[in-house]
Amino acid sequence: MAELSGRRVDILGYSQGGMVPRWALRFWPDTRIHVAAFVALDPSNHGTLDAQALCQAQCPPAYWQPASGARFIAALNSGAEPFAGIAYTVVYSRTDEIVTPNTSAAGSSALHTAGGWIENIAVQQICPADPSEHLAVGSFDPVGFALAVDAFTYEGLADLARIPAGVCTEGFSPAVDPRTFPTDYAGFLAEIGAAASESPETAAEPPLSGYVFARPGSRGR
């Protein structure tokens, strides 16, 4: 994409999609120079206690890997969490019920270590009464949408000061049609349920691929 466009690309990821691009940036270093801004909505960057509690027996690999304490999470965050030259905006909700704990910037979603530029923002910092939980932030929440658009517009970090206060009363992001929302959202939930029920299950977290040289506590580059 960078080659075709003649410019660095921007990335938007939601939930586990907020971790997968970081995995590529971590283990394929030559990708880093091609990324300008990276916005992640409710990512489970440091694992979630929900998955840890859920996976006591059989679980899909996609549940094992984002669990707090998973080898996948340790490898993802080994070395540097962000990388120099990339602007990382992490948007999370304090009422997230899937990625937990997430009540503050010390929670699962936020990035912390030095390297790239980081802005960790709770949607409640803009709209204190925003009730958006995990699925809302990734589908129809206008606050998360506004922050992503702001970061990409300015090719950097999202800035709370640039987000209009009126976003708190909008109810839906601009791409959502309120007239068809109930049906659309029901379909959204059905697809999630189907994907979960159809996924093969394993009795433990799958082993990491051979190219993953990092181990828990490693500071490898």
Determine, yes or no, domain membership for 219. Answer: no
Taking only the tens place, the pLDDT of each residue in 25-68 is: 999 999 999 999 999 999 999 999 988 888 888 899 999 999 99
CATH number reported for the structural domain that contains residue 94 in this entry: 3.40.50.1820
Instruction: Report the pLDDT value the prediction gives residue 113, as an integer from 0 to 100.
Output: 76
Domain count, the chain: 1
Rounded-to-integer distance, Cα 20 and Cα 45, Å: 10
Q: What is the DSSP string of 117-136?
A: EEEEEEHHHH-TT----HHH
Q: Are 151 and 89 in contact (CB under 8 A)?
A: yes
Domain with 135, as residue range(s), is 2-198
Rounded-to-integer distance, Cα 61 and Cα 206, Å: 7
Tokens coding 159: 């800035």
Q: Are 39 and 152 in contact (CB under 8 A)?
A: yes
Specify the 3-state DSSP secondary structure of 169: helix
Determine, yes or no, domain membership for 86. Answer: yes
Determine, yes or no, domain membership for 193. Answer: yes
Res. 188 pLDDT band, cuts 50 70 90? very high
| Residue 76 pLDDT exceeds 60 | yes
On whether the pTM is more than 0.75, the answer is: yes
| Residue 218 pLDDT exceeds 50 | no
Determine, yes or no, domain membership for 213. Answer: no
